[in-house]
Each structure stands twice: as C-alpha cells, then as structure tokens.
Amino acid sequence: MTTKKIAPSILSADIMNLERDVKIAEQGGADLFHIDIMDGHFVPNMSFSPSVVAGMRRVTDKPLDIHLMMDNPDDYIKAFVEAGADTILVHAESTKHIYRSIDLVKSLGARAGVVVNPGTPLEEVKELFPVIDQILVMTVNPGFGGQKFIPGMTKKIQRLDQLRQTSADDDFEIEVDGGINDETIVQCAKAGADIFVAGSYLYNGQDGFKDRVDTLKKLVED
C-alpha cells in the first residue's frame, strides 16, 4: 500500500506570485507539485515552458510532477528533465510510440508515467505496467482548471486498481487529475487512487490553504 499524496496544481496559482504560492503550498503540507504543460495543439490552451519548471526547482525541494499535454512530447522530454522534473507524465494519445516515450524518460533518469484521457480505455496502457512508475487517470477533459469531475471515472480508477492488484507489475501509483475537491476525493480514494491533484479547490484565495490540504488528507486516510 502506498501513502496518499496531495499535489497542488500550479495552473491555479497566481503566476505573478508563483514563489509565494509555492511556499504557501509547502507550508500547507503539499507532498509534491503538479505542473501542467500545454502546447495549444494537443489541448486548446497554453501554459508553462521548461524555464518555469527550472524556476520552480530553484524554490522548492518537493518532487515536481510534469504533466505533458503536448504533441510530439519526445522533443521536449529532455528539456523538462534538465529543468528539474522528477516525474514526466506522457499522454498515451499524444504519441504513436508511447513505449518509446516512456523509455526515453527512464533513460534520462526520471520517473515515468502515462496519462489516459477520459475516453481512452485502460487496455491501451496495460502493456506499460512493467515499465512505469505512475498512471494518471484524467477525471476531466485536459486543458483547463476548474472543470467538473466526470462521475464515470470513479469506476475506471477502480478497474485500474483491480488490474494493478492482479498484475505481477503492481509497483506504480495511481494519480487522479481534474475536479478534485472535498467531495470527489473520497470516491477516488476508495476506488484506489494514491495521488490527488487539486488546482482550483486548493488555490482558492491565499487564506486557508493548509486547512484545505488537511481536509483532503483527512478524507483519504485509510
């Protein structure tokens, strides 16, 4: 059994006060940071470059979880690892050769994860179990913070946890991303998720960040 972790998504932080918001999250009990990379092609939005990841690396020792929402991810994996990524998460839908992308991440010494969109079946990523450290199940369509959790995703997380339990290669964490709050986190935790990304719920004003992390942690305690 892995420890449950809370990962603030800095997409919802105040970009003009990013260092302040990173410190607030650290002091509030964040276990790691989730950084969304969007290219305006794979998803209809744009966000951060490797230089933002390098900036984050300078101000925190917490693990940095890099969620690549981009076409041709292989072209940028090295830049993100060099910028200080701990884990690189690649969408199964973003490349014809997901196994190669995962290999590339591992060869550069980072942890590797695969991401599945809400419409992508788990069967697409089963063969990757022996080589990945993490699977991210999108619980909204990728591209924007502040969306509503898609209820059917709870069963998908459950199925993934069952697959993990019956697999010889069960050494990976299940992460959920999108619409996670003090209600949806409960069902995700029960379904077997280990890492909970939360953006708009946590970065809801400067005050009370720690209280919100504490609330989430209490809700996912075994």
In the complex, the residues that contact ligand DX5 under the rule CB under 6 A are 9, 11-12, 34, 36, 67, 140, 142-147, 177-180, 197-201
- Minimum Å distance from CB 142 to Zn ion? 7
Task: Please give the Cα distance from 11 to 170 (Å, whole number).
Answer: 30
Whose Cβ is closer to ligand DX5: residue 34's or residue 111's? 34
Indicate which single residue of 67, 91, 111, 156 sits in contact with Zn ion (rule: CB under 5 A).
Answer: 67
The vertex-182 CA angle with 178 and 187, nearest 5°, equals: 70
> 13 — alpha (psi -120 to 50), left (phi > 0) or beta?
beta
The verdict on whether 177 is a catalytic residue reads: yes
If binding is defined by CB under 5 A, does position 175 make contact with Zn ion?
no
User: Using the rule CB under 5 A, is 39 a contact of Zn ion?
Assistant: no
The pair of structure tokens assigned to 118 is 């809400």
Question: Which residue is it, tokens 């719920």?
Answer: 201
CB closer to ligand DX5 out of 84 and 199: 199
111 binds Zn ion (CB under 5 A): no
Q: Binding residue per annotation — 36?
A: yes
Q: Give the residue numbers annotated as catalytic, written as ranges.
A: 36, 177
